[in-house]
Structure 1
Amino acid sequence: MLDGTYFNGYCALTAFNGKHIIDWQFCDREKTASWTRLLQRMTPPQIAVIDGNGALESVLTALWPDTKIQRCFFHIRQSIIKHLTLNPRTVPGQQLLALTRALMKVSTKSEAANWTEQFYQWQSMHAVTLKERTYAKDNTAARPTRVKPHQTWWYTHIGLRRAERLLHFLLTKDHLFPWLDLAQPGELLPKTTSPLEGGINAGIKEQLRLHRGLTPQHSMALVRWHLYQYAENPKDPWSFVQHHHWADNPKPKPLPEESIGPALYDQHFSWEDGNGIQKGWGGRR
């Protein structure tokens, strides 16, 4: 599982095998150079689960051509809802949302084949609707915000079309069901990045919340230690302590008696501080 999490102006790219953190890389954002730096240090796995980041997918294709890419089902669902909303107005949108919900429940190869057939049937049934266009005329309604000023036409059901294009792309690239195709008998491969995002990366955010106000350097040190604790064989932190870390600090010299200021915490007070019995009409009715 590969994912990036942002904190204090930085980003931590993490690689997780379901049990342990394999490696990580600090960067400013998820981009081709930072993902390349991380993946070049690793052995190509059989399957990589990603959330759909474009830079990561291009680096995976270039560096690990034999590795199967599995798109995270949770992020697929979120993208479809973004395009269709939870209450689509059209019948094709309602049917596609139902297909997406059915996709989340697929658990066997036969169910995957059945779902793929239903999706292609839906495509054929609504091919005309997907290609429907709206032309810019003087008497048309207001131009949608997504449409550029010089465009003379646009797809009427753009959200429906984008959702359909996403699922069609994932099927064409074979990014939907590698978690079923590569699994051995009795083996369950991951189909989401949730164990990484909701577990380790969420722990990073919680640690930073508990230690608010850290400088960028200290926050990176905290994240580094947090990730190191999830490595396969982390060492005892005390084993990193060297002899020079225990150097005796010089004892502070006692202050001369005349330089000691007035007592701050005792049973007395100083009139110079404005304390004492106050007289006046304050508080009276």
Structure 2
Amino acid sequence: MIKHGRSASGTQRWRCASCALASTAPRADKARRSQLGEFLDWLLEAAPQRKRHESARNFRKRTGWCWRLEPSIRPDGVVHHVVMADGTYMNGWCLPAAIDGISGEVLAWQWCERESTAAYNALFAQIAPPDVLVCDGMKGIQRACAESWPHTRIQRCLIHIQHDTRQDLTCRPRLEAGRELKRLADALTCIHDADHAARWGEALNAWRERWRHMLAERTFAREHPDDPRAATSRSGWWWTHLRLRRAYFRLERLFRDGSLFCFLEPEPQAYGPVPRDGNRLEGGLNAAIKRMLLNHRGMPENHMRRACEWLCYMKSAKPDPARILKEHDQHAADADDDDADDDGESTIQPTLGNGIDWNEFHSSTRYPNGTD
């Protein structure tokens, strides 16, 4: 066979040297790779419905098989200096993900119903223990870090700390003590060296000495029988300024355990800089997931999860959709060989859903048949 020009559509034409018969030689693997590329461009681009030159129904029909592909990141055992981890919620499910804190590449993800210790343990099992973990301070992620990565330091996201303080004190505290404490919390993102951090700790301690009598004030149920808390209080009293105490003791605990200014310590900085917040994860991955789901609003739940997996995979270090397609075809061929009977007739039963493997974090009562 020798090359014999191209057809009207641009396809390479071949001619037999002996019989002079000309024809094209289409390759199904290249066609599937091309369709997969179109599918990912449509799924991940910012305005997916404005650039298509065919009907949406025809496009969904051509690329519908792409939803059955299962992207995954192979654990490579590489030790990353800083790892950021957090979960984002969608449609009743949670997707905790971990990224490299310096480059922003996605390292792993794990589906679950809530941010629990078991979910984060499963996530951390896919990654080599880093030097520093930047997180929002949820109890599940801290316990999982202590169990899976006992030698990893934790840097609390300062933006989340400021957010938690505003939730307790409001944006405009009524009391002078609350206004002073809020100013201290707002100053966290302005600290860039160890000396400034030490002065901040001294200011926090001075605030405690100045307002310690207010922090110790109690309200007794017998003096306020009409208060709703009087009926539920077991001890017969409660802290008068509970939210103020909670905001203060949170800052004091984080300052003492070293997770507030870990990014300024020499030991964690020995192998590179340490971020002081999780903005690279919040704005780079979680925000992209929300935008994609908004662009494709109305997708069924199984497609939503698969779309999130594709987005995470394409933000990894070396995404290779062709490898995912090749592995899927190989698994399908192996399944056909295993399920074929002695007469050569296939005994494969039709399946429902998109082939997502349910793990132990998925509720068996919500989907009793294991399919969507």
Partner of 1:26: 111
Taking a change above 3 Å as real, the CA distance of residues 184 and 86 of structure 1, as seen in their structure-2 partners, is: same
Gaps of 5+ in 1: 246-285
Residue of structure 2 in register with 1:282 after alignment:
none
Q: Which amino acid aligns with 2:208?
A: Q
Does the 8 Å CA contact 1:147/1:154 hold for their aligned counterparts?
no
Return the alpha-carbon distance in structure 2 between the equivalents of residues 180 and 144 of structure 1.
45
CA contact (8 A) 1:50 1:70 kept: yes
Percentage of identical aligned residues? 35
In the alignment, what sits opposite 1:162? Answer: 246
1:153 to 237, 242, 258: 237
Give the letter aligned to residue 155 of structure 1: W
Q: Which residue of 2 aligns with 1:249?
A: none
Q: Indicate conservation of the 8 Å contact 2:131/2:268, yes or no.
A: no
Please list the CA deviations of residues 223-272 of structure 1 after superposition, one character each: whole Å capped at 9, or x if unmatched.
1110011111111x345445979xxxxxxxxxxxxxxxxxxxxxxxxxxx
Instruction: For structure 2, list consecutive stretches of 5 or more residues without a partner in the other structure.
Output: 1-83, 331-372
1:222 aligns to what? Answer: 307
Q: Which amino acid aligns with 1:21?
A: V
Residues 146/103 of structure 1: CA separation in 2 closer, same or farther (3 Å cut): farther
Give distance in 2, aligned partners of 1:64 and 1:239. Answer: 31
Question: In 2, distance between residues paired with 1:21 and 1:196?
Answer: 9
* Equivalent position of 1:250 in the other structure: none
TM-score of the superposed pair, with normalisation by structure 1: 0.79
The answer for the alignment partner of 1:172 in structure 2 is 256
The one-character-per-residue Cα deviations of 1:161-211 (angstroms, maximum 9, x if unpaired) are: 010111111112211011111454795321111111122111111111111
Change (3 A) 1:84 1:199: same
Which residue is 2:29 aligned to? none
The 1:161–1:144 alpha-carbon spacing in structure 2 relative to 1, beyond 3 Å, is farther
The size of the alignment, in residue pairs, is: 243
Judge conservation of contact 2:221–2:230 (CA < 8 Å) in 1: no
- 2:298 match: secondary structure: coil
Q: Does 1:205 align with 2:290?
A: yes
Aligned counterpart in structure 1 of residue 146 of structure 2, from 36, 58, 61 = 61
Q: Secondary structure at the match of 2:318?
A: coil
Counterpart residue type for residue 209 of structure 2: S
- Which one has a bigger Cα radius of gyration? 1
Which among 152, 174, 191 is matched to residue 106 of structure 1? Answer: 191
Match of 1:4? 87
Aligned equivalents of 2:311, 2:271: Cα separation in 1: 32
Q: C-alpha displacement at 1:142, in angstroms? A: 4.1
Q: Tell me if 1:14 matches 2:111.
A: no
Residue aligned with 2:174, SS: coil
Measured in 2, the distance between the counterparts of 1:145 and 1:177 equals 37
Output the amino acid matched with 1:113.
Answer: A
The alignment's C-alpha RMSD in Å is: 2.3
Distance (whole Å) between structure 2 residues aligned to residue 195 and residue 219 of structure 1: 23
Name the aligned partner's letter for residue 17 of structure 1: D
- The CA distance in 2 between the partners of 1:88 and 1:68, in whole Å, is 33
Shift of 1:98: 1.1
What residue is the counterpart of 1:254 in the other structure?
none
The equivalent residue for 1:279 is: none
